[in-house]
Amino acid sequence: MVLKKREMSTTENEGVYTDFSNDMTYGEYLQLDKILSSQKGLSDHHDEMLFIIIHQVSELWMKLMIHEINAAISSISTGDFQTSFKQLARVSKTQIQIIQAWDVLSTLTPSEYLEFRDQLGQASGFQSYQYRMIEFALGYKTDHVLQIYKKEPTLQRELEKAYIAPGLYDVSIKALANAGFEIDQRLLERDYSITYTPNQSVNKAWLEVYKNVNKYWNLYQLGEKLVDIEDCLQQWRFRHMKTVERIIGFKRGTGGSSGVSYLKKVLDHRFFPELWDIRTEL
């Protein structure tokens, strides 16, 4: 039996490439040497590895989200709705992965975290520039966070560029205007560095879209994709808040934020307000 198993194994592996003397390997393509050597803890505590990996993985997922959101903004701007739907759907699926990451981090107990928390100094997830890029792309602009990145001028310039750029909802509103809806002209020419606030003309347009789904199918699909993204982002924020509360209670965050109190406050913000309001009006 052992000989037969060996024979089968050999047969199944025939044709497998094993000589990489002059060819690129899987690990080289993914630069795994860099990725897998980047978990450098500041303590000897066993659970710091979990803490680092969860945050690194989340940052990688956020990189993909930014990549897809920016692509969707370009697609919507040119009227390529079908491509934008694929891109936005990928954002939502990626968000699910980040939401589930909190379940893994929540296995870290308060006592375990206290063993290495002081080693973090002032470093905090509050300083995640990619998360700020996502917020900016979704229309939530807060200028005070830009001060955090003075240490890295190149990074600060990228954030400032995103801060004044039109976001996902801005190009969606322009798509409504391009479809013939009467959108407040001041809104179409607004300062994009200011966080978006509800507008009656946008509310009226979305309401018409949802009342005439077949006529405005692309816009209807776009509206639902935006709702998917906001729904998932709020779930992520909620799981973030509950995980923080579970691990450190109502202590201040390592970066100086109010911790759970701050996280509860941002839960009240709505990125695409009219798309939620019309559900009551329909």
Residues that constitute the known binding site for heme: 240
Distance, CA of 59 to CA of 65 (rounded, Å): 10
Q: Is 102 exposed, middle or buried (0-12, 13-18, 19+ CB in 10 A)?
A: buried
The answer for residues whose C-beta is within 8 angstroms of residue 44's C-beta and 6 or more apart is: none
- Per the annotation, binding residues are 51-55, 113, 117, 240, 254
- Per the annotation, binding residues for substrate are 51-55, 113, 117, 254
Distance, CA of 6 to CA of 18 (rounded, Å): 18
Instruction: Dig out the tokens for 94 from the structure.
Output: 């990626």
Closest CA to 211 of 138, 162, 114, 279: 279
CB 45 within 8 A of CB 110: no
CA distances from 239 to 7, 232, 245, 266 (A): 51, 10, 10, 13
Q: What stretches of the chain show up as alpha helix (H) in DSSP? A: 2-12, 26-30, 32-35, 48-77, 81-105, 110-114, 129-137, 153-164, 168-178, 185-188, 200-211, 217-248, 260-266, 273-281
